[in-house]
Structure 1
Amino acid sequence: MTKKSSRKLYTALAVAAVSTASLAPAVVTEAASKAPVVKAKSAYVYAGDLDAALDATYEGAPIHWYKSSVNLEKLGTFQTAKGIVKGKGKYIEKRVRVLDHPIAILPPSEPLVFKQGKPALGIVKQQVKFASGTYEKAVRWSKIDTSEVGEFVATATYTNRGKTITLEVPYTVEGYKLSIMHTNDTHAALDLAPKRATAIKQIRAEKPDSLLIDAGDVFSGSLYFNEFKGQADLKLMNYMKYDLMVPGNHEFDLGTEQGHKELADFVRYANFPFVSSNVNYANDQYMKSLYRDEVSQKAYNGRLYEGVIKVVDGEKVGFFGLTTEETASIASPGPIEFQNYIAEAQKAVDAFKEMGVDQIVAVSHLGYNDNPAFDNDLLLAENVDGIDIIVGGHTHTRLSAPVLITEGKTEPTVIVQADQYSNFLGTVDVEFDKDGKVIKHAGSLIDVKALQPDPYAVELLAPFKDVVDTISQDPIGVSLTAPLDNPRDKGDETAPSVRKNETALGNLITDGMLTKAKEYDAAVIGAVQNGGGIRASIDAGPVTTGEVLTTLPFGNTLAIMDLKGSELKAAFERSVGIYPIENGGFLHVSGFKVLFDSSKPAGERIVSLQYNNGTEFVDVEDATSYKVATNFFTAQGGDNYVEFETAFKDGRVNDLGLIDWENFRDHLISLGEEVTPAVEGRIVDVNAAE
């Protein structure tokens, strides 16, 4: 017989020994001083169960075993179990061999999490504790139901050598998660950009799949833009690895009849794509080659698309972009055309649905609650179903937490917006069910000012900052006794705002416009300045060139309009028409006194409109013509001033070509070394006064 055959025979005999239920014929030995000892047949101890291996009786008599004679932790070698046969006066011995056996299934090292609607495996490798150690074994799980989101309990089962062990384990079924970091209306406020970079790195360390999106208006607002036309911003944005951006209205500030060269350069050198769904670039000689009229699943950097699809958490997410239609009147769009936001949004949602994409994000530069006569995010959510998230900009709204819109909708929409000027990095985390419906959401604003700057971002910014600092630090020779504030109400209609209230800053700017215009035409009776064109406060103390430039950053020129009194009254009705909602077209004045009643319907609010005739304030007469100074942007009908647009088209506007910030600087200097700002009651709501 070979060794192999002998081993097989031995194994067979061993198994037979385990299965036998009776004792083998006993061998009885007699000793003069001892009771007889019965030698029972050898056995194996399976799964640590000694009782199963020891006989219960001998020749009908019960056996009492001394179990302490066997060490269950001693595996693989034969030991002698000893006992006594009751009523027989005999001892009994049995050789047993303790085999390795499972003791417990160890809990999973990580929580069990399954995606809704995705099948869960029935057999999973899991750590099982044996007598000899812990090993990875194939463990069978009871059927795990992933049809609903929630917390549940599953049972794990493992069987080995006749021993079955179980473990109840909690598990979670979750939806599909999308995390977004977002910014908007940064307006070239780059001094905080290195701190923004730090915040972005912190979020990515926690959520590596988080996307980074900008909702527009990187352009205009600081010396960085005046000097570098967006390229300084782009250097930092590329370093921060933005994923997407929508153009805001200020991205179109530098347009000419030929198009937008500076914007084209900004887009072309971006290491990320843009979404722009309601803008027609076909007639812009610089932009048209960069635009793709398609929804792309593989978008290229430095290009604009109708929509972009990204895969996040294993699911496709669709992104499209909207720019306010007001851009046509509040920027310099040149040959660019803006299309209806509702129609284009619905078109985008339908396109995504046809492609099997149920998770949809609108990157919007419409404004949270901007003028409803044009567009805003609330109206977008109300009128277009299927948009899950609106990442917004334009109104500089500080939404400390996401706003959930549910009324009248089959699916909820989450709206976020992150203030302005790089003050905050917004975050929003959304969980979708298997059908793409939002089931959970959370979000916050991170105050970047409290963070340490990212060292490499500081290094990238340095050459741009050196140039800007040189310009900014040049004093103009005037000191303010109090700050010239430039407030925004941030969605609180009871708070003051440069876009709905008289300010000392607006008074000084328009005084400068009127003074300069009178140098060219003594017949000018007053001046008006749109509140949306006043971009920053000026601190008390010495005033620098940089502060003046930052306050009036657009480089608008001074113009004189020839208007009928009726046109002027209609324009002021438009100025206060949506009060107390902010209005970028709100007119600050010099040479006028405006009384209005906010309790009256729009179009019927002006109570009194007077101008200073040199000796006193007198009423503006409908049929009389008056000359009024403003910036050339407003004179062309900017901010939807159709009265001014009509005058422009009729040839009743004269552009003097004088830069606004220079006029403002010169006026401050003309007031002397010390200037005391004041609000003088030039624009008064009689309803509030009562």
Structure 2
Amino acid sequence: MIIVVEALCCVGIEFVYDPLFTDEFNNINRLLKVTKYLMSRFSLFAASAVCVASVAASEPAGHFIILHTNDTHSRIDPDASGRGGVLRRQALIDSVRNAEANVLLVDAGDAVQGTLYYSLFGGEVERKMMNALGYDIQILGNHEFDNGMEALAREWGQLKASRLTTNYDLTDTPLDSMFKPYEIRTVGDRRIAFIAINIDPDGMISAFNSRGVKYLDGIKAANATAWHLKHNEKVDMVVALTHIGHAVAPGYTDMDLARNSEDIDLIIGGHSHTLVNPSDPESPAWFALNANGDSVIIAQAGSTGAYVGKADIDLADLKVTTSVIPVDSRLDDRVNPAVAEILEPYRSTVDSILSIPVAEASAPLRKADWGLVNLISDLVMEIGTRLNGAPVDMAIMNRGGIRCDLDSGTITKGAVMQMLPFDNHVVVIDVTGADLLQAFEVMAGRKGDGISGAMAEIDPLTLTCREVLVNGRKIDPLRRYKVATIDYLALGGDFLSSLKNAAIEKRSEALLYDDVIGLLAGKSSLGKRITPDTAVRMPIGDKQ
């Protein structure tokens, strides 16, 4: 397969569909508004060329294969289930390339964060591996921002893949001019366009780490750009690569995008870690009807690289068939030695840290049964009390900040670092009861988070709090409370926006995982042998 990239300089006036327009408006009105949209939002026609990639083949192509990954989260080695591993993924991808004439490899975001490979090397390993595997298109997830814009620009500036974002304006940021709003690939006599729709950073990405990013409404941007591609660029298909989730937050998901679209044919998503498998009758929805009543295919390949997704496009009729391929030990005998050699120095460092013991667990510590969430919440409260010089009232720890379980037996330094991979610090905040109650309502809406020193019963019908107790007493909206938490949450992260009203009084100099390692190594009141506390501190009550 020969890839020929040519610049397309757009001459004249271009226009795209904007859903704000109704049918009674004529094309002149559409033209003026949409031209302004493209020029101001993307500097597309005024300042830069749009890349169009062509797949030149000696004979007509019958199928176009899109292999896709999402939310691999630095799982360079196989996960706890024995699936995944980047070297196995490389073997699988190469086998498909050897069997098919036209193959494109794309990633739908969150390729980083979750193992020591990212904590220690800041994205360097993932970037080298994705270049070695030959990714063609990559889009941003929320965790790509975890080390800040400068670090992101440094690593993504070395990617060989095309970088797309359709609804982030990155002007005057370190990422300025690094991304395109879309890309068109020509396969045989078909033109297939790709757009990228990203998550709203507010409440999801640290404001400090995403300074200067201007978010554009994802559904409007997708529809406007897709209309342009179908009606002006005359493409045959529009593929939306997304990092907004399959169906997790009603209003802005892959399902919502599909239902509100007219010109999108295929959505390849990420963020929600959803395994969409049409061959499984229990699979989440793999298609939705758009505004015209036509089917939009929806694909996502789970998480941690345990699967590679495959979208097979029949170029004769543009019918799309999707599937997922497991990445497992059957691929071990096909690993590319040259790729393995790139990885080896990094693996040696990771393995050495994974071997340092710090504590013992009498039983597995899991997020699912609250044992691990309660442990970390209690440790955050203990760290906060030490920072404060006096007992704090309670502690809050989000479940999403805890990335993996701990096995029974020896707990190692590396395991704790992988469990708590983010650059968070424990803080003590002074917050009103009213703002604290609002935070509890957000936590109740996602069926509970980690708390220590408090209890809250959740109504199963409304997912709101029936009652909140702090130290056994009903919370007083007028009183002020000392709360230990992490700085990400104190600054409104994970949608706890009311905590932004609180004053940060103390902040640990150490990262959360370093504080936790220190406590587990013998300085904690819990001792060095940990017994899980699986009590549900935010229980969902009976229906009334």
For 2:61 and 2:456, the matched residues in 1 are separated by: 56
- Assess if the C-alpha contact under 8 Å between 2:114 and 2:403 holds in 1: yes
Partner of 1:163: none
- TM-superposed CA distance for 1:227, in Å, is 1.5
Is 1:306 the counterpart of 2:181? The answer is: yes
Find the partner of 1:608 among 464, 467, 472. Answer: 467
- Assess if the C-alpha contact under 8 Å between 2:61 and 2:188 holds in 1: no
Is 1:357 the counterpart of 2:238? The answer is: no
For 1:686 and 1:215, the matched residues in 2 are separated by: 37
- TM-superposed CA distance for 1:207, in Å, is 1.6
- Assess if the C-alpha contact under 8 Å between 1:635 and 1:653 holds in 2: no
- TM-superposed CA distance for 1:307, in Å, is 0.5
TM-score scaled to structure 1, two decimals?
0.64
Is 1:548 the counterpart of 2:420? The answer is: no
Find the partner of 2:321 among 423, 426, 441. Answer: 441
- AA in 2 matched with 1:562: D
Three-state SS of the structure 2 residue aligned to 1:429 is strand
- AA in 1 matched with 2:159: A
- Assess if the C-alpha contact under 8 Å between 2:127 and 2:156 holds in 1: no
- AA in 2 matched with 1:239: A
- TM-superposed CA distance for 1:451, in Å, is 2.2
Q: Following superposition of structure 1 onto structure 2, how do residues 288-367 of structure 1 map, counting pairs within 5 Å?
A: 288=176, 291=177, 303-326=178-201, 329-331=204-206, 332-353=209-230, 354-367=232-245
Aligned residues: 463
Partner of 2:519: 667
- TM-superposed CA distance for 1:328, in Å, is 5.5
Q: Following superposition of structure 1 onto structure 2, how do residues 6-21 of structure 1 map, counting pairs within 5 Å?
A: none
Three-state SS of the structure 2 residue aligned to 1:363 is strand
- Assess if the C-alpha contact under 8 Å between 2:88 and 2:327 holds in 1: no
Q: Following superposition of structure 1 onto structure 2, how do residues 503-522 of structure 1 map, counting pairs within 5 Å?
A: 503-521=370-388, 522=390
Partner of 1:418: 301
Q: Following superposition of structure 1 onto structure 2, how do residues 87-126 of structure 1 map, counting pairs within 5 Å?
A: none
Q: Following superposition of structure 1 onto structure 2, how do residues 621-636 of structure 1 map, counting pairs within 5 Å?
A: 621-636=476-491
- TM-superposed CA distance for 1:310, in Å, is 1.0
Is 1:679 the counterpart of 2:534? The answer is: yes
Find the partner of 1:597 among 453, 459, 472. Answer: 459
- TM-superposed CA distance for 1:523, in Å, is 4.5
Is 1:471 the counterpart of 2:353? The answer is: yes
Partner of 2:395: 527
Partner of 2:158: 269
What's the CA shift string for 1:500-557, capped at 9, x where partnerless? xx61111111111100110122241111111111111111110111100001101201
Is 1:451 the counterpart of 2:334? The answer is: no
The change in CA–CA distance for 1:449 and 1:634 in structure 2 (over 3 A counts) is: farther
Partner of 2:69: 183
Partner of 1:235: 128
Three-state SS of the structure 1 residue aligned to 2:421 is coil
Three-state SS of the structure 2 residue aligned to 1:686 is coil
- TM-superposed CA distance for 1:351, in Å, is 2.3
Partner of 2:450: 588
Find the partner of 1:252 among 136, 140, 145. Answer: 145
Structure 2 spans left out of the alignment, 5+ residues: 1-59, 78-84, 279-284
- Assess if the C-alpha contact under 8 Å between 2:73 and 2:114 holds in 1: yes
The change in CA–CA distance for 1:210 and 1:335 in structure 2 (over 3 A counts) is: same
For 1:653 and 1:369, the matched residues in 2 are separated by: 38
- TM-superposed CA distance for 1:449, in Å, is 4.3
- Assess if the C-alpha contact under 8 Å between 2:109 and 2:141 holds in 1: yes
- Assess if the C-alpha contact under 8 Å between 2:181 and 2:196 holds in 1: yes
Is 1:428 the counterpart of 2:311? The answer is: yes
The change in CA–CA distance for 1:506 and 1:450 in structure 2 (over 3 A counts) is: farther
- TM-superposed CA distance for 1:653, in Å, is 5.2
- Assess if the C-alpha contact under 8 Å between 1:328 and 1:338 holds in 2: no
The change in CA–CA distance for 1:486 and 1:455 in structure 2 (over 3 A counts) is: farther
What's the CA shift string for 1:169-206, capped at 9, x where partnerless? xxxxx996331111111111111110111111121122
- AA in 2 matched with 1:587: D
For 2:505 and 2:233, the matched residues in 1 are separated by: 51
For 1:216 and 1:183, the matched residues in 2 are separated by: 8
What's the CA shift string for 1:557-604, capped at 9, x where partnerless? 11112111121111111112254xxxxxx521111111111212x5xx
- TM-superposed CA distance for 1:439, in Å, is 3.3
- Assess if the C-alpha contact under 8 Å between 2:183 and 2:195 holds in 1: yes
Structure 1 spans left out of the alignment, 5+ residues: 1-173, 292-302, 488-501, 580-585
Is 1:278 the counterpart of 2:157? The answer is: no
What's the CA shift string for 1:365-409, capped at 9, x where partnerless? 001112125x21111111122111111110111112370212653
- Assess if the C-alpha contact under 8 Å between 1:559 and 1:657 holds in 2: no
For 1:382 and 1:567, the matched residues in 2 are separated by: 36
Find the partner of 1:646 among 471, 495, 501. Answer: 501
Partner of 2:8: none
For 2:249 and 2:453, the matched residues in 1 are separated by: 28
For 1:362 and 1:687, the matched residues in 2 are separated by: 42
For 1:222 and 1:627, the matched residues in 2 are separated by: 32
- Assess if the C-alpha contact under 8 Å between 1:199 and 1:446 holds in 2: no
- Assess if the C-alpha contact under 8 Å between 1:330 and 1:633 holds in 2: no
Q: RMSD of aligned C-alpha atoms?
A: 2.1
Higher fraction of strand: 1
- Assess if the C-alpha contact under 8 Å between 1:392 and 1:416 holds in 2: yes
- TM-superposed CA distance for 1:656, in Å, is 3.1
For 1:562 and 1:371, the matched residues in 2 are separated by: 30
Q: Percent identity?
A: 28
- TM-superposed CA distance for 1:241, in Å, is 0.5
Find the partner of 1:486 among 359, 367, 371. Answer: 367
Three-state SS of the structure 1 residue aligned to 2:222 is helix
- AA in 2 matched with 1:660: L
Is 1:287 the counterpart of 2:175? The answer is: yes
Answer with 1 or 2: which has the greater Rg. Answer: 1
Partner of 2:254: 377
The change in CA–CA distance for 1:652 and 1:543 in structure 2 (over 3 A counts) is: closer
The change in CA–CA distance for 1:263 and 1:449 in structure 2 (over 3 A counts) is: farther
The change in CA–CA distance for 1:450 and 1:399 in structure 2 (over 3 A counts) is: farther
Three-state SS of the structure 2 residue aligned to 1:657 is coil
- Assess if the C-alpha contact under 8 Å between 2:469 and 2:475 holds in 1: yes
What's the CA shift string for 1:665-690, capped at 9, x where partnerless? 233332333211121121100037x8
- AA in 2 matched with 1:549: M
Three-state SS of the structure 1 residue aligned to 2:96 is helix
